[in-house]
Structure 1
Amino acid sequence: MSLPSALPAVTPVRPDTDEALARSLLAVQHAAYAVEAALIGDDRIPPLHETLADLSAAPLRWLGARVDGRLLGAIAWTEDAAVVDIDRLVVDPAAHRRGVGRALVTAVLDRAGSRRVLVATGRANRPARRLYETLGFAAATEEEVVPGLWITRYARPS
């Protein structure tokens, strides 16, 4: 299936109230995290194993990226008055390197305003790390979250 070359429309989505959307989102999420698992050599990424019920119940805010009605990616986060914490960024592998991830992260940064923004990714996930770094994030710490699985935590100052 070929993808349109247009930039995606980024809008709020509610997987907790729209089952069809939640199913599409879960398919994109599983495909995206399967790519990350291959990049980092470890499939113990929690969202890779999430169920429809888990995804729908997650207390997250969501934006989705669509072109011609097709969900190409999504981003989810939590926030408070001082910090926005990006929980996940997922992009359909067929749409990688087409600006979908950048559009989603930029939309969250716009919503964050002057608040600090945090995100984490697999230490060996070079494409994700490059994206965050080009958007002004700086590596803050590296952490072994389970034996042998390393992540890099990033922060973008307020």
Structure 2
Amino acid sequence: MIRKLNVSNIQEASEILRVQVPAYKVEAEIIGFDDIPPLKETLEELMQCKEQFYGYFIEEELAGVISYVLDESGLDIYRLVVHPDHFRKGIASSLITFLLALELPYERVTVSTGTSNSPARDLYKRFGFQETKQIQIGENVWLTSLEKNLAP
């Protein structure tokens, strides 16, 4: 089941961190870079962010999270995390499908991930995202931006 999360609620924010930190630790290992900002985010910082969050629950356990910001330039996926205990269960795909099905006023969806994180890049490409650019964020560490245009 997917439902909206209230990041300003301390209990829900704590649950998001419980999923987010181990997920980003795995990404840090994949890309060889442990200075990923959400990996070091505090509870207070998370609770003050302006993103909208949805969570994927297995029974009552939060197993995955997607967040986004919607503005005049489109919808930007900020986070897509799945707790490592729930990898390979289709949770990330379900969260992307859910988000793309929301009736929000946008024509473009963007997301960024570590260039070395081929599982994430492949996931977005399966949903029709195309790589638009790469930027270097550290020595031998690159981010890939991907975009999906929905305009006719």
Same fold flag (TM > 0.5): yes
Structure 1 residue runs of 4+, over 3 Å off?
A: none
Alignment partner, residue 156 of structure 1: 148
Equivalenced residues, count: 149
Query: Structure 2: how far apart are the matches of 1:41 and 1:82?
Result: 31
Deviation at 1:149, TM superposition (A): 2.5
Query: Structure 2: how far apart are the matches of 1:32 and 1:26?
Result: 10
**Quick check: 1:142 aligned with 2:134?**
yes
Alignment partner, residue 22 of structure 1: 13
**Quick check: 1:129 aligned with 2:125?**
no
Partner SS, residue 20 of structure 1: helix
**Quick check: 1:98 aligned with 2:89?**
yes
Unaligned runs of 5+ in 2: none
Alignment partner, residue 44 of structure 1: 35
Unaligned runs of 5+ in 1: 1-8
Q: Are 2:74 and 2:106, in contact at CA under 8 Å, matched by a contact in 1?
A: no
Report the TM-score when normalising by structure 2. 0.93
Deviation at 1:84, TM superposition (A): 0.2
Residues 27-83 of structure 1 deviation map (CA, whole Å, 9 limit, x = unaligned):
110000000000001101100000000111110011110010100010111002450
Q: Are 2:75 and 2:106, in contact at CA under 8 Å, matched by a contact in 1?
A: no
- Higher mean C-alpha displacement, 79-88 vs 126-135: 79-88
